[in-house]
Amino acid sequence: MAGGTSTPGESVLSRSMRLLSAFDADDPYLTLAELSARGGLPLSTTHRLARELTNLGLLDHGRDGRYRIGVRLWEIGGLAPISLELREQAMPLLMRLYDATGENAHLAVLDGHEALYLIRIMGPHAVPTLSRMGGRHPLHTTGVGKALLMTRDEHWLDRFLAQPLERDTTHSITDPAELRAELNRARVRGYATTREEMTLGNVSIAAPLPAVPGLPPAAIGVVTHLDRADENRLAPLVIKAATAVSEVFASARS
């Protein structure tokens, strides 16, 4: 697709965003040809934009000829209020949750129809997960995702469930009626769970943060192995952490 074409009338900024969005966790280094193919832009256009983005520090051009996201882009992203405020307030409490459970601890916010992960704390004995800081995962197959869905009204859920739900494992819930029933049960008990719905062998327990003005819908969760998924022990700790983050954020804003 190195001979791709730009959309007529598309701005330089939009085309630049195509290139920046071409990178992902699996492919953080891309050649010019790969950038061109993933961005759907002609090779000549890709070369010109990549050179300009490199000069601005938004891309780095390695000696091996491949490109990667530049430090300047990370620096700018760190100035977003959600990073400056929420992560700063939540990090110590997520560390406390990790210390209390010994399990992976996550904080994610709702962004469109996905869970955007802002914090991930892992330890040497925690189970491997697919999540990463700045990564996105489905709402219906992750603990924090289901916790975020718990906070949505019926109109929002109607629109969300109108789209096909992809199956990550054989345990993923993709039937709208079944997912609604699962969310109703989660609301009653105050926390959401997933059992091998994103990764086989893993269980997630998550709770939404109480709403705070200026804070996007957010949730905190832990991911553990199926063999040590003690809901009676873990759920109260997760709910306590979610409440504490919300209170600290509200206090900092008052």
pLDDT at 124 over 70: no
Higher pLDDT, 112 or 126: 112
The Cα 110–Cα 108 span in angstroms is 7
| Domain locations along the chain | 12-76, 81-253
Q: What is the DSSP string of the chain?
A: -TB--PPTT--HHHHHHHHHTT--SS---B-HHHHHHHHT-BHHHHHHHHHHHHHTTSEEE-TTS-EEE-HHHHHHHTTSHIIIIIIHHHHHHHHHHHHHH-SEEEEEEEETTEEEEEEEE--TTSPP-S--TT-EEESTTSHHHHHHHHTS-HHHHHHHHTSPPPPSSTT----HHHHHHHHHHHHHHT-EEEESSSSTTEEEEEEEPPP-TT--SEEEEEEEEGGG--HHHHHHHHHHHHHHHHHHHHHHH-
pLDDT computed for residue 88 by the predictor: 76
Lowest pLDDT segment from 72-86, 118-132, 190-204: 118-132
Inform me whether the pLDDT recorded for 1 exceeds 50: no
Q: With cut-offs at 50, 70 and 90, classify the pLDDT of residue 5.
A: low
Task: Give the pLDDT band of residue 3 (cuts 50, 70, 90).
Answer: very low
Average pLDDT over residues 86-96: 85
For 15-24, 32-41, 167-176, which range has the lowest pLDDT when averaged over its residues? Answer: 15-24
User: What integer pLDDT is reported at residue 2 of this predicted model?
Assistant: 41
Q: How many CB atoms lie within 10 A of CB 175?
A: 12
- From the CB of residue 222, how many other CB atoms can be counted at a distance below 10 Å? 29
Mean pLDDT of 100-124: 87
Judge whether 12-76 and 81-253 match in fold.
no
Render pLDDT for 22-44 as a digit per residue (tens, 0 to 9). 987 778 899 999 999 999 999 99
The pLDDT value given to residue 129: 55
Q: Tens digit of pLDDT for each residue in 57-77?
A: 999 999 999 999 898 887 787
The yes-or-no verdict on residue 126 having pLDDT over 60 is: no
- Class level of CATH domain 12-76: mainly alpha
pLDDT tens for residues 191-235? 999 999 998 999 999 999 988 777 889 999 999 998 888 999 999
* 81-253: CATH topology: Beta-Lactamase (3.30.450)
129 or 25, which is more confident: 25
Give the global pTM.
Answer: 0.75
